Structure 1
């Protein structure tokens, strides 16, 4: 145990007051305050009397004024008497600002363009990442929470745990489950889409709106309009992308070309913007970029030409 010295303590407090204390000096001051008996800093009777009652406004002002008058000669006995209060009032704000903080460490897993990646989480839940998608979780996963952050699209098969719900964060929206399989899609600039293959999930928007989804149900969320739109979808179609199949039901041509861009690392330009509003239907085997483009062009009387990684589509 270090014996307190009024001169040293006063010097350390003044350094904290003027924001000149180093990390080592902050640690030393905290150590002195924690290791020494209360009686070492002020008389025992006065210490216990003050501990049993909250400090009055007048006493607080007296402590602060005494500590702030750095040019005033402070007697050793008087300094001892008020040091515990001065330390608490002056040191804690400095410690909060300067003391090193522990930042959580995240595990990040990404799927590149054209890649589908299978991820097993620490609780044995399985995540299938679609192309150009990223999932992150921190070091407290499983022990404290089961929260993941998703950018892109993923299909989840969640290991049941009623004590710790599983939560997917996509932007400001939370999707919470207990044990189920579901799909979440949220790429930049696109609406959030959540669909449930088995079980039940709850989707909560930042403004408080929420919707509960069961097997075969699907919802989209438009952050601009802060509204949910519900659909029905056959469960086997929800993860069709894992088998290399594009489910084009109710998708526009613009949305389909965006999917192809992620899969094949190309840029597809629609020469007539109105073309992007064509609504497609059916399933398309994603065997190759050319085969998909040729099928779309055949149905909608379009044609395309390729210039390196740029593909231009136009009417015939």
Structure 2
């Protein structure tokens, strides 16, 4: 009996502090409807329980709920129960009917040509590449460590085995415990995840997933719902942070999108076949002109610039 009394008091305290789960609320209502609960806790103790003010209009709503729930209870018992039951059900109403806390998101964006370093509330570090956005809620680190990414970012995650860190990119999640890795997903491009240290799990729809360790890289084709894995030197994964374009195995079309984000220009390939040229090597990002001249020299191309529009074609 003492254990039941302790349980009842614990449930009341949770309701008053707005921490009771729905299962705990149902259990409390069940205990209230049992006639012997008066033995567990006298009415005087119930009445001494801390009360909370209700918003206008909610009090009558929950009292009506109390009246509806007690129609099957004996009238004499109902009269004894109502003084404190109304208070408790009012508190239940506050938990069940009052709007839940809506997360407030912090949004950080890096503009074209900008690289931005961010410290998250748990001391993890995010480095945003150009034309990228990251969002996290005010409950970050308190209940979970989730972020939403559009674009590209390099993550250095503070270890916490009790709270995995998760990057949401479209319908794919990248889950880690403590590591450093790069995630890239721009509109119209495949998701690419590269691991510089530690281990991550990348999960897509329909149970598709891949586990990556140091030096591993995977791309995700959303149309086919398939992953493709590769090996990459960890020091190459953050070259963009040093202003270096890693052009290995990238086509001219793919490199053009990188240049567009870094220099806030639009690059037009006049002949589609020029975009299929596969490049190699690394290019220091000294200036747009120097990058274009190097590419055009290798592939016998030429470019013309008019304002923010650059056209590339054959000589």
Tell me the TM-score range normalised by the shorter chain. Answer: 0.7 to 0.9
Equivalent runs, 1:202-213 vs 2, <5 Å: 202-213=201-212
Q: Kindly provide the CA deviation profile for residues 171-194 of structure 1, in whole angstroms up to 9, marking residues without a partner as x.
A: 010000011000000000000000
How far apart are residue 46 of structure 1 and its match? 7.0
How far apart are residue 110 of structure 1 and its match? 0.4
Q: Does residue 299 of the first structure (1) align with residue 298 of the second (2)?
A: yes
How far apart are residue 137 of structure 1 and its match? 0.5
Larger Rg: 1
Equivalent runs, 1:1-316 vs 2, <5 Å: 24-31=56-63, 33=65, 43-45=75-77, 100-316=99-315
Unaligned runs of 5+ in 1: 1-22, 52-79
| TM-score normalized with structure 1 length | 0.73
Distance change >3 Å, CA 240–CA 44, structure 1 → 2:
farther
| TM-score normalized with structure 2 length | 0.74
RMSD between superposed Cα atoms in Å? 2.7
How far apart are residue 33 of structure 1 and its match? 4.9
Q: Secondary structure of the residue that 2:152 maps to in structure 1?
A: strand
Distance change >3 Å, CA 254–CA 167, structure 1 → 2:
same
How far apart are residue 198 of structure 1 and its match? 0.5
Q: Secondary structure of the residue that 1:251 maps to in structure 2?
A: coil
Cα distance in 2 for partners of 1:314, 1:226 equals 35
Contact 2:149 2:167 in 1 (8 A): yes
Distance change >3 Å, CA 281–CA 27, structure 1 → 2:
farther
Q: Secondary structure of the residue that 1:293 maps to in structure 2?
A: helix
How far apart are residue 34 of structure 1 and its match? 5.9
Cα distance in 2 for partners of 1:252, 1:47 equals 80
Q: Secondary structure of the residue that 2:223 maps to in structure 1?
A: coil
Question: Which deviates the most, 101-110 or 217-226?
Answer: 101-110
Cα distance in 2 for partners of 1:34, 1:212 equals 52
Cα distance in 2 for partners of 1:305, 1:169 equals 39
Cα distance in 2 for partners of 1:122, 1:128 equals 15
How far apart are residue 27 of structure 1 and its match? 4.1
Q: Kindly provide the CA deviation profile for residues 73-120 of structure 1, in whole angstroms up to 9, marking residues without a partner as x.
A: xxxxxxx9xxx9xx9xxxx9xx86xx5443210010000000000000
Contact 1:114 1:265 in 2 (8 A): yes
How many equivalent residue pairs? 249
How far apart are residue 311 of structure 1 and its match? 0.3
Contact 2:194 2:215 in 1 (8 A): yes
Distance change >3 Å, CA 288–CA 34, structure 1 → 2:
farther
Contact 1:38 1:44 in 2 (8 A): no
Cα distance in 1 for partners of 2:79, 2:186 equals 61
Cα distance in 2 for partners of 1:47, 1:146 equals 49
Unaligned runs of 5+ in 2: 1-54
